[in-house]
């Protein structure tokens, strides 16, 4: 089966051709420019590849309600030109193929659940800690959409007492997770990127405190079995252990499950698919659209 995968991001569009097993055969990257130009280039690429379906892992917010008139549209994005872009219908009409869609984090969660770290669990949360923060939730083997879809990056967290910017940097909220802990906050807070901030810097303790709050929410509210932390900030590997210990500390023994106390390393984990969760998720979305 030949399938197309589009990772539609705010700065770049990654187009890949692969199969239902998550194997990627080829990839091109295009800058996210004006919609007309960018969408035309993507359509040209996929038209020549003989794909049987396309899966989109998209930046949002997206309308994911299949009964809605605007199903598959980008909705109220701060990227003005893309606001109310009819992403899914445009590809469906131009390519004449089945097209599946979810958020980038939702697709990554699906990929980790089906082919990555979460192969042995029923419930999983995938959090991407990159320039922004997004989260996808799998419950009983299904991606959770609910009213819209989870917006994991924007729930309000408690500032660390040593944080010099306790309000964070989100234009919408005071001290939301993304505004406090996304990769883009490092430069603003410490004058240094997350790739450069040295290990042992107080900034990492603060970051771990914020990530732990997001893990605690996943464990207490969703009672999830696994939290996959991905995205560029998590390339600093020491952060996994810091986030785990901080999570155990914040829970303070409340959840009576030996895994929580002794094996947090089996709950808070690295992505099994490395940086490929998004593209693999889009391939799975394409396959699902064909009923595979």
Minimum distance, C-beta of residue 216 to Zn ion, in the bound complex (Å): 18
Of the pair 154, 266, the CB lying nearest Zn ion is at 154
Q: CB of residue 286 vs Zn ion: minimum separation in angstroms?
A: 31
Is the Cβ of residue 48 or residue 172 nearer to Zn ion in the bound state? 172
> Using an 8 Å Cβ cutoff, are 283 and 55 in contact?
yes
In whole angstroms, the minimum distance from the beta carbon of 113 to Zn ion comes to 26
How remote is the C-alpha of 128 from its chain's centroid?
4
Q: Beginning with the edge strand found earlier in the chain, give each strand of the sheet holding 142-143 in spatial order.
A: 142-143, 133-139, 124-129, 227-230, 268-269
CB of 155 to Zn ion, least distance (A): 8
Q: b or e along 265-282 (b: 16 or more beta carbons within 10 Å of the residue's beta carbon)?
A: eebbbbbbbeebbbbbbb
Which range of residues in 175-183, 203-211, 246-254, 270-278 is near Zn ion by CB under 5 A? 175-183
Q: Does 172 bind Zn ion (CB under 5 A)?
A: yes
Token digits of residue 247: 């999570």
Where do the H-state alpha helices sit in the chain?
Answer: 35-47, 87-95, 104-115, 177-181, 184-190, 202-221, 238-251, 258-262, 264-267, 277-289
Least gap, CB of 195 to Zn ion (angstroms): 23
Provide φ and ψ at 95, rounded to 5°: -95, -20
Q: Which stretch binds Zn ion (CB under 5 A): 41-49, 74-82, 171-179, 212-220?
A: 171-179
181: how many CB neighbours lie within 10 A of its CB?
26
Q: Which of residues 127-156 bind Zn ion (CB under 5 A)?
A: 154
**Which residue, 175 or 225, has its beta carbon nearer to Zn ion?**
175
Confirm or reject binding of residue 61 to Zn ion (CB under 5 A). no
Asked if residue 170 binds Zn ion (CB under 5 A), the reply is yes
- Residue 205: exposure state from Cβ atoms within 10 A (0-12, 13-18, ≥19): middle
Q: How far apart are CA 181 and CA 168, in angstroms?
A: 8
Q: What helix, strand, coil percent values describe the chain, rounded to 5?
A: 40, 20, 40
DSSP-derived pairing of the beta strands 24-31 and 12-18 = antiparallel
Nearer of residues 96 and 172 to Zn ion, judged by Cβ: 172
Per rule CB under 5 A, count of chain residues that contact Zn ion? 6
- Nearest approach in angstroms of CB 173 to Zn ion is 4
Distance of closest approach, residue 135 Cβ to Zn ion, in angstroms: 13
Please say whether the beta carbons of 267 and 222 come within 8 A.
no
Indicate which single residue of 15, 74, 107, 176 sits in contact with Zn ion (rule: CB under 5 A): 176
280 counts as binding Zn ion under rule CB under 5 A: no
Q: Which one, 71 or 155, has the nearer CB to Zn ion?
A: 155
> Which CB, 168 or 281, lies closer to Zn ion?
168
Of the pair 173, 244, the CB lying nearest Zn ion is at: 173
Residues that bind Zn ion (CB under 5 A): 154, 170, 172-173, 176, 179
């Amino acid at each position: 089966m030949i399938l197309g995968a589009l990772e539609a991001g705010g700065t770049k569009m990654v187009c890949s051709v692969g199969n239902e097993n998550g194997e990627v055969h080829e990839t091109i990257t295009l800058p996210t420019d004006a919609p007309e130009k960018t969408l035309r280039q993507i359509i040209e690429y996929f038209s020549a590849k003989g794909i049987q379906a396309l899966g989109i892992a998209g930046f949002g917010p997206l309308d994911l309600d299949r009964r809605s008139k605007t199903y598959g549209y980008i909705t109220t994005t701060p990227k003005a030109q893309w606001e109310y872009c009819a992403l899914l219908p445009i590809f469906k009409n131009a390519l004449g193929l089945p097209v599946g869609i979810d958020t980038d984090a939702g697709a990554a969660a699906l990929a980790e659940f089906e082919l990555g770290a979460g192969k042995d669990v029923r419930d999983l949360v995938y959090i991407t800690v990159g320039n922004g923060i997004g989260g996808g939730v799998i419950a009983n083997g299904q991606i959770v959409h609910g009213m819209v879809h989870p917006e994991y990056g924007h729930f309000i967290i408690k500032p660390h007492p040593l944080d010099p910017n306790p309000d964070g940097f989100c234009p919408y909220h005071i001290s939301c997770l993304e505004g406090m802990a996304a990769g883009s906050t490092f430069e603003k807070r410490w004058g240094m990127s997350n790739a450069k901030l040295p290990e042992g810097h107080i900034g990492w303790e603060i970051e771990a405190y914020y990530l732990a709050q997001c893990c605690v929410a996943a464990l207490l509210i969703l009672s999830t079995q696994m939290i996959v932390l991905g995205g560029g900030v998590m390339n600093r590997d020491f952060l996994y252990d810091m986030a785990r210990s901080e999570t155990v500390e914040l829970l303070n023994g409340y959840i009576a499950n030996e895994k929580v106390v002794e094996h947090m390393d089996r709950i808070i984990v690295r992505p099994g698919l490395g940086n490929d969760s998004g593209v693999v998720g889009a391939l799975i979305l394409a396959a699902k659209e064909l009923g595979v």
